[in-house]
Amino acid sequence: MTERLRLGISECLLGRKVRWDGGHKHDRYLTDTLGEWVEWVPTCPEVEIGLGTPRPPIRIVATGKGDRLVVRKTGEDITGRMTAWAEQALEGFAGVDGFVLKKDSPSCGMERVRRHHGDQQVTRDGRGVFAAALLERYPLLPVEEEGRLNDPGLREHFVARVFAYRRWKDFLATGPSAGALVAFHAANKMALHSHHPGEYRALGRLVAGAGTTGLGALLDEYGTAMMHLLRHRATRKRHTDVLQHLAGHLKKEIDAEDRAELAELIESYRQGVVPLVVPLTMLRHHARRHGSEWLRSQTYLQPYPDELMLRNHV
């Protein structure tokens, strides 16, 4: 990866005072840790449509004509303003590698946003109007809410998807041949396998058919299927399978003592005694010294910078 990641973000998460009450929702993990690798592309949809700061709060109201975005005090329906703005503003996010949204917001919230049914009943099954437009326009884009990123597993999953998406786009930018796609798939084999073995095999069948389909269509189909696959979270069991598979590629290269030590660490990980980083560090050590080119090329071994320490917590 040559340049920093570009991630869209709900602007209040950067600490800017754009919320309805004049405040912000600064998220230190995003700015201070992930921010080291990211160029943020911020937006505050409510400010952008001219509501100002501070402003009267708005909410989602469920009606017979679908969900509407409404100013609580006056009842003004601003859905049209928001969707019209989003339609043109989303063009500006065409090149981003992912998006972090503010949870619970009637504009930015991705899920479980409050929906008001009349004055009495409220359900938590709504989606912010801007978030809905974003997800519809860019269905493959990795998108997550900052609240969910407090969960180490969801955080690792999101960042892995973002880096994978970026690798894919960088790959496409090289003007790849069918042969290059085969090599790309081979290098990502274990990373993809850890998310969903069945869908990984389907991707393999797609690549095997390279040459029978037009290259443009093949790349489109592969990219879509790969990003769908990556929506599945890698489980402890799948990581264990992948680690054992990779260790198998070293069985002739390392001695019995090292093999036993590696197997023990993988088993400790399987049992939840140590985090993923422990067997993985040992595996990488052996792969670097004794591994085949194929083994050393696996993006699974280092899908994102170690400094993010994401595999220390899963």
What's the Rg (C-alpha) of the chain?
22
Three-state SS at 59:
strand
Do 290 and 254 touch, CB atoms closer than 8 A? yes
HSE at residue 130, side-chain half, CA atoms within 13 A, is: 32
Structure tokens at 32: 């201070």
User: Quick one: which segment of 10-18, 138-146, 156-164, 171-179 binds ligand SF4 (CB under 6 A)?
Assistant: 10-18
State which residue, 108 or 265, has the beta carbon closest to ligand SF4.
108
Do 310 and 155 touch, CB atoms closer than 8 A? yes
CB of 271 to ligand SF4, least distance (A): 41
CB of 73 to ligand SF4, least distance (A): 17
State which residue, 107 or 240, has the beta carbon closest to ligand SF4.
107
The only residue of 5, 7, 8, 11 in contact with ligand SF4, by rule CB under 6 A: 11
Query: 174: which DSSP letter?
Result: T
Q: H helices within 53-151, ranges in order? A: 79-89, 129-137
- Distance between CA atoms of residues 79 and 59, nearest Å: 10
State which residue, 107 or 298, has the beta carbon closest to ligand SF4.
107
Per CB under 6 A, contacts with ligand SF4 among 94-123 are: 102, 105, 107-108
Do 292 and 309 touch, CB atoms closer than 8 A? no
Q: Is 188 in the site for ligand SF4 (CB under 6 A)?
A: no
- Distance between CA atoms of residues 225 and 210, nearest Å: 15
Q: Which amino acid belongs to residue 104?
A: D
User: Quick one: which segment of 4-12, 164-172, 190-198, 303-311 binds ligand SF4 (CB under 6 A)?
Assistant: 4-12
CB of 36 to ligand SF4, least distance (A): 22
Structure tokens at 134: 């974003």
Structure tokens at 181: 């796609």
The only residue of 5, 7, 10, 70 in contact with ligand SF4, by rule CB under 6 A: 10
CB of 20 to ligand SF4, least distance (A): 7
Do 299 and 195 touch, CB atoms closer than 8 A? no
State which residue, 105 or 194, has the beta carbon closest to ligand SF4.
105
29-68 footprint of ligand SF4 as x/- string (CB under 6 A)? ---------------xxx----------------------
CB of 53 to ligand SF4, least distance (A): 8
Q: Which amino acid belongs to residue 157?
A: H
Residues that bind ligand SF4 (CB under 6 A): 10-12, 18-19, 44-46, 102, 105, 107-108
